[in-house]
Amino acid sequence: MEIKSITITGYKPYELNIFSEKDEKTLIIKEAIRRKLIPFLEEGLEWVVLSGQQGVETWSFEVLQSLKEEYNVKVAIIPPFVDQEKVWKEDKQQAYQQMIQQADFYQPLSNKTYEGPKQFFVKNKWIIEKTDGCILLYEEEFGGSPQYFYDLALKYQEKFPYELTVINSFDLDDLAREIQELNQSDF
């Protein structure tokens, strides 16, 4: 199956106990995303669709921006509704606005503001149906907000080809150890 478009999603910062952009865990997560993304890019990935939520999606956007020098990939930001950032802290709102400006495409899925959780279901379903696969930072035992996306993707996979790439805590632990060993060997 040729993969021309994917989405990247997963946990929000607070679900990972990350309360600062300077938290070293974000570096490990970004590197894990980068490593999963590159094979897709080398096989001809053209679009990455994000809903723009905080955490994995904003970190993925940063990774994609750094990879754009080397790869011809476009990023679409498709939030579930208008003003999704309205309830976020001011610095997060500014970062989101900057992300929208740098994206290759931006269009809220609904022209309404937040009405209820069904809008997130509709967004997940739409993104899964419009992409060929996803990279998902997710831990089955932990659940959390990405579980809704994961369950929907599994259900979709029963009828259609859909590439589901999961990054879990074991992957992150291995990567953290690898980076630590590399840093120690520099001395």
| CATH number of the domain encompassing residue 40 | 3.40.50.450
* Tokens linked to 16: 């990972």
Query: What pLDDT digit, counting tens, does each position of 64-94 carry?
Result: 999 999 999 999 999 999 999 999 999 999 9
Residue 158 has pLDDT above 80, yes or no: yes
The pTM of the full predicted model, rounded to 2 decimals, is 0.96
Torsion angle of the four alpha carbons 42, 166, 180, 11, in this order, in degrees rounded to the nearest 10: 110
User: 42: domain range?
Assistant: 5-185
Q: Whole-angstrom Cα distance, residue 150 to residue 146?
A: 6
pLDDT for 21? 84
187: confidence class by pLDDT, cuts 50, 70, 90: low
Q: Whole-angstrom Cα distance, residue 5 to residue 78?
A: 14
Residue 136 has pLDDT above 90, yes or no: yes
> What DSSP string describes 154-183?
HHHHTTS--EEEEE-HHHHHHHHHHHHHHH
pLDDT for 185? 75
Number of domains, the chain: 1
Q: Whole-angstrom Cα distance, residue 59 to residue 23?
A: 12
186: confidence class by pLDDT, cuts 50, 70, 90: low
